[in-house]
Amino acid sequence: MFSCSNPLDSWLPVKLLLRLASTAIVAAGAVLTIHVATPVLYASVPAPRSVVAAAALGSIGDLHAPDLAADSAPIVAPIAAALPTGPYDSTPTWHRPTWFPAVTDVDAVGQMDGPAIGGKGPSLRSRSVFVYDLDAGQALIDKNADVVRPVASLTKMVSSLALMSTEPDLDTELCVTAAQYPTRSGARSRLSTGDCLGGWDVLGAALVASDNRAAYALAGISGLDMDDFVARMNAVSADLGMEHSSWSDPSGLEDDNLSTARDIARATVAVAAHPVLNTVSTAPFWDLHRSNKNAPRRLFTTDRLSGRTDLDVLAAKTGYTDTARYCFSTMVQTQDGRRLVITLLGADGKLSRWADVDRILNWVESGAS
């Protein structure tokens, strides 16, 4: 029986603001793409990595369809100025950030550029897809992997990494206030104003159940105000080489939380490699203990892969908003020991999102990759 709120008594282990400058897309060499299915203008950025990360200041909900209003203002993806348009540089230039634990698996985030050997892979319905084989060091599928899109609650992987970069005391208790109220009407939360809970439970609610108020509360656990926390998210994102990403809130409710399938795959590798976030993000449920309530509340994961006996899930996060549509990113280990990162953005339906995951796994197992 899992009871995940206290790491000392349970199965858990014990323990700049770089907003990519909004520039003229034509000057950036980007290709404009209008997706008719959503009222959003996206920019297809050149795939090669740029030197934008050098500008970083050092190294420092999940929603259901009825929960979010359908009207969304058109947006233009912020693109860094003077993105390169030449071929990939095969020489690794990424260095592990000083705030990240000394584990080598995270080094894969610096090796995820380059063409995919399987092209677009099998027929997939998600608008953007990126699949990477960590052990082979090879991209397998690239379908619009460098198109900038809203990514909904996949943002919470970056906000959780930003939290851990502050070396927080996860035993710190925080009482939820109106300051943690979601920015979009209809965005549900299992937390009420006045609920008091520890950092472990805030993190668990955000990553396991994709709770939006918990995501906002991550800033309070970090000791930073909201503006500084969002700046930390952007700095951490840059540290991980996510050069086509920018963030505006910790939950992903806002449409200007923008990234690409390839960038989100980098964040997924970092979550999987982090000894705390790996364990939290893969929990099948989370028992939420609030000091102002007598009984714990059990929150279940939004990851449908959880519990599958043929996969070892190493990190996972779902996401949905009306503009982002259905998103999912995971790192899994197959029965033959193969570690795969799978990122899907912009699936029109919840079922088609999971069907795409099955198609990818079947395609890999068939030997097509």
- How would CATH label the architecture of 25-88+96-365? 3-Layer(aba) Sandwich (3.40)
Domain positions in the chain are 25-88+96-365
What 3-state DSSP class applies to 113? coil
Interatomic CA distance for residues 18 and 242, integer angstroms: 11
For 143-184, the pLDDT digits (tens) are 999 999 999 999 999 999 999 999 999 999 999 988 887 666
Q: Which residue type is seen at 336?
A: D
Q: Which among 258, 323, 327 has a CA at the least distance from the CA of 38?
A: 323
User: pTM, whole model, 2 decimals?
Assistant: 0.77
Tokens for 327? Answer: 């998103």
pLDDT score recorded for residue 185: 58
Q: H or E stretch including 138?
A: strand 138-143
CA 30 – CA 201 distance, rounded (Å) = 41
pLDDT of residue 76: 35
Element (H, E) at 262: helix 261-273
pLDDT value for 346: 98
Q: How far separated are the first and last CA of the chain, in Å rounded?
A: 38
Helix (H, G, I), strand (E, B), or coil: what is residue 276? helix
CA angle 273, 131, 151 (to 5 degrees): 80
From the list 148, 55, 46, 56, the residue with the least C-alpha distance to 89 is 46
pLDDT < 70 positions in the chain: 1-92, 182-186, 369
What 8-state DSSP symbol labels residue 230?
H
Contact present, 267 and 248 (Cβ < 8 Å):
no
Asked if 259 contacts 128 with a C-beta cutoff of 8 angstroms, the reply is no
